[in-house]
Amino acid sequence: MNSLTQKISFSLLAALLIYLAFFSILNTQVFTKAIIFIAFHRADKSVEVLDISFRDHILDIPDFLQLSDFSISIRDKDKITWDLTANEASIECRNCLDEDKRQLDIRVVDMQIKNNEEIYVGHLDLQLVLDLKGKAIWKTNGDIRIKYIEDSGLEIKNFKALIAGYKNEVVVKDVWAELAKGIIKGEIFLEYAKNLPYSISMQFVDIDADEIGNDGRPLKEHVRGLFDGFVEVSGNAKRIKRFNGRIYAPSQSRVHSRLIGFLMGYLPKEAITEQFKAIVKSDDFVNLDEFDVTFVNSSATSIFTKIHMLSRENSFDLNPDIDIRLGTNIINLKSLLKGD
Per-range mean pLDDT, top range of 23-27, 183-187, 210-214: 183-187
The CA distance from 19 to 86, in Å, is 32
Confidence bin at 199 (pLDDT 50/70/90): very high
The pLDDT value recorded for residue 205 is 96
The pTM of the whole model exceeds 0.75:
no
Specify the higher pLDDT residue, 111 or 277: 277
Q: What is the pLDDT of residues 170-179, one digit of tens each?
A: 899 999 999 9
Indicate the SS3 state at residue 130: strand
The pLDDT value recorded for residue 202 is 96
